[in-house]
Amino acid sequence: MIEIKVPSPGESITEVEIANWLVESGDYIEKDQEICEIDSDKATLTINAEESGEINILVSPGEMVPVGSIICTIDDSKKSNISNKTSNPVSKIEKEVPLSINKGTVINEPSPAAKKMMRESQIVNINGTGKDGRITKQDVINSKAAMGVGPGQRKSQRKKLSSLRRKLASRLVSVKNETAMLTTFNEVDMTEVNKIRKNYKEKFQKKYGVKLGYMSFFTKAVVKALQEFPDVNSMIDGDEIVHYDYQDISIAVSTPKGLMAPVVRNAEDLDFFGVENEIARLATKARDGKISIDDMLGGTFTITNGGVFGSMLSTPIINPPQSAILGMHNIVERPMVVNGKIVSRPIMYIALSYDHRIIDGKESVGFLVSVKNSLENPKENLFAGNIESSLLKKAKNPLSYRSNYKHKL
């Protein structure tokens, strides 16, 4: 008998929530098969079977359990019984629609259509009005109407918040209550960035196998602005301010489990390929539920892109313990005055939310203007005057830049 215990998701985590069992008690499972999902404060992790055998589940979904506790056992002496996988269709129907006959009630044979509707609606007791007491389709419809089952029925569902969602909610509320958060806005003419992407995106993808998206432009522009305004790349720790001489950029990613922000380490050392490759790798891990705690620790600044959902303008909430977050939005053709003439330009509104306790208005506005200038003149500010050489040169391996430095969150 093999005991499966809750692994430790991270140093500071002492308990987890059983989010979902992927198998049922009594099932025969194979070695390394995924059997359970657990939610911690920071991520959802999957537990795999250590051996093949019959599983006995000891903890129900939704329960909080300490790290190291036993959640199930596997009887490795049991062998897979293939014959059990075949079932009698008749007995299967009987299981799906158990007929509990009340005393004095006569249940006659339903027609095929009526039988299907009874099974789908889980109706068992009906008096037939058809020939020889046969249950008709109309009998089922009338029974559903009498029970209040129909197109007009109003339903509600109550579901417990996952551990990750509860932790996220708690952190967001604490930001509003514990920081002096303000938001400043600006607009960016995306004409030059769009031109570069149009001219080089096919060559870029052919050379590196990843797309040339907007995130690499914004990440490089943010890195440059953080170096110009170091207060934005800092955070409060008690009565002290901690400044960082590197830029670890958290990228907000929407996943089925909620919002996550994996970190692109040492973004100042990455070229455009390095940034795009890291973002693609981390976003895939997050959406597949394979993100680790280490992937999300230690960011110094966050970028979130509500534009992918159609957002025109927002006030993003700071990702604690960081001191600022940049919000991207959708790109819309808007009228602009250029050299005395009204022209149509692709415009994005950008927002910087920041903690006013350590970042003054001058720094916040200057930071956003720096990002704007880099994106409106990327050739000089992001590519040092040579776009093709910067984009298509031999790329460095982004793995070599990942830092082992851990922050206290």
Helix (H) or strand (E) holding 265: none
| Other Cβ atoms closer than 10 A to 277 | 21
Per-position pLDDT tens, the chain of length 409: 889 998 877 666 788 888 888 899 989 999 889 899 888 766 677 888 988 999 999 998 888 889 889 999 999 887 765 444 444 444 444 444 444 444 444 446 777 777 777 777 777 777 788 777 778 878 888 877 666 555 556 677 777 777 777 777 787 788 888 899 999 999 999 999 999 999 999 999 999 999 999 999 999 999 999 999 999 999 999 889 999 999 999 999 887 777 788 999 999 999 999 999 999 999 888 888 788 778 888 899 999 999 989 999 999 999 988 999 999 999 999 999 999 999 999 999 999 999 999 999 999 999 999 999 999 999 999 999 899 988 887 555 555 444 444 443 3
Q: Can you give the pTM of this predicted structure?
A: 0.67
Q: Which of 151, 165, 152, 160 is nearest to 256 (CA)?
A: 165
CA–CA separation, 226 and 246 (whole Å): 9
For helices 214-228 and 191-208, what crossing angle results, to 10°? 110
* pLDDT in the model for residue 359: 96
The catalytically annotated residue of 32, 237, 288, 356 is 356
Q: Which residue has the tokens 């800092």?
A: 234
Quick count: other Cβ atoms within 10 Å of Cβ 155? 4
Q: For strands 181-189 and 34-39, give the pairing.
A: unpaired
Q: Is 39 a catalytic residue?
A: no
Catalytic residue among 32, 75, 237, 360: 360
Helix, strand or coil, per DSSP, at residue 295: helix
Phi, psi for 80 (deg, rounded to 5): -65, 130
The whole-angstrom separation of Cα 223 and Cα 256 is: 29
The torsion angles phi and psi of 40, rounded to 5 degrees, stand at -110, -175
Range list of β-strands (E), 49-180 = 53-57, 64-66, 70-75
pLDDT at residue 106, rounded to an integer = 46
What's the CATH superfamily of 87-146? E3-binding domain (4.10.320.10)
Q: What is the CATH number of domain 180-401?
A: 3.30.559.10
For residue 272, count CB atoms less than 10 angstroms from its CB and return exposed for 0-12, middle for 13-18, buried for 19 or more.
buried
The amino acid occupying position 363 is E
Q: Is 329 helix (H, G, I), strand (E, B) or coil?
A: coil
Residues of the chain with CATH 2.40.50.100: 2-75
Give ranges for CATH 3.30.559.10 in the chain. Answer: 180-401
According to DSSP, the β-strands at 301-305 and 249-251 are parallel
Which fold would CATH assign to domain 2-75?
OB fold (Dihydrolipoamide Acetyltransferase, E2P) (2.40.50)
pLDDT reported for residue 288 = 82
Is 407 among the catalytic positions? Answer: no
3-state SS, residue 350: strand
b/e for 198-213, b at 16 or more Cβ within 10 A? eebeeebeeebebebb
Query: How many residues are present in the chain?
Result: 409
Determine the Cα–Cα distance for residues 40 and 190; give it in Å rounded to an integer: 40
Element (H, E) at 346: strand 341-355
Q: Where are the alpha helices (DSSP H) in 110-213?
A: 112-121, 137-147, 163-178, 191-208
The ranges of the chain annotated as CATH 4.10.320.10 are 87-146
| Beta bridge partner(s), residue 18 | 38
What pLDDT was estimated at residue 14?
Answer: 80
